[in-house]
Amino acid sequence: MDKPLRWLATGPMLRFAPAALLLFGALTLLPRASLAITIVDPLHGYCGGVGQCVDNGTNSPTSTNPPSNFGFTVSPGSASGDLLLDVLAPDNVASGPPYAISGTLTGTAPLFSATPWTSGDLDTYLGISASPANPIGAYLPSTITVDPGATGFLVYQADLGTTTLQGPSNPNVSPLETLGSSLPQGSYIVGFLNEGTIGAPNWVATANSGAIFETSAPSPVPEPGSLVLMFTGLVGLGGVVRRRLTGR
């Protein structure tokens, strides 16, 4: 054996071989570890109706207003935890009363803060740490296409308690939720699931492509004067029908 090779095999370098192998193994595994940290079981919205909440790569639009029979799945499989439901309404629309939620789970979503969410990530705004990240840039552009005056979102939040979300292969099963009032056009519904514990929360966020996006404007509510006119007309019509029936 040549002297240099003999020195590598039996000399001082032999003492560093275990450490070198350990370092090589750590570097090899590092990308996988990083991937596991950044891609964490995202939630994905679903809702009833043909062609509703179909992921288009940016969000999951619905034309049903208010949304009904909607909910979330979690990847890669079913998981249990505390479910938060958040309604994101364009900030140029006056804040309204809390959103009533009925269905499998029930609750009320009051305004989270009088200060709208206008920058950064949604989890930071809510005071939690969640994955995947929900930057406002993943939501606001689509809202601006239907409501150019929006600069951010008013956030309404309900804690729906502990539940089990199904895997992505089993949507439209449970939970099935319905909002009690219409959403402003350009609003979103997203969820956060705490798969950890109270002392060590592990919040899983909704992937932006899985956020339920409201594309339809609310149905107009008749003004009180219009209702009076309609009622008066119905009374008059009833009188005409009665006179004809009685021959008067």
| Identity of the amino acid at 70 | F
The pLDDT score that the predictor gives to residue 50 is 86
Average pLDDT along the chain, 248 residues, taken 10 residues at a time: 46 46 45 42 92 95 96 95 97 96 98 98 96 96 98 98 95 96 98 85 94 92 48 47 55
- Cβ–Cβ < 8 Å for 210, 132: no
CA neighbor of 45 nearest in space, from 33, 59, 31, 34? 59
DSSP string, 153-211: EEEEEEEEEEEEEPPTTS-SSS--EEESSPPPTT-EEEEEEE-S-SSS--EEEBPGGGS
Helix spans in the chain (H): 3-10, 17-38, 122-126, 140-146, 224-246
The pLDDT score that the predictor gives to residue 225 is 52
The pLDDT score that the predictor gives to residue 63 is 95
The pLDDT score that the predictor gives to residue 39 is 45
Distances (CA, A) of 200 to 74, 113, 130, 162, 214: 20, 24, 12, 16, 34
Report yes or no on whether pTM surpasses 0.85.
Answer: no
The pLDDT score that the predictor gives to residue 31 is 45
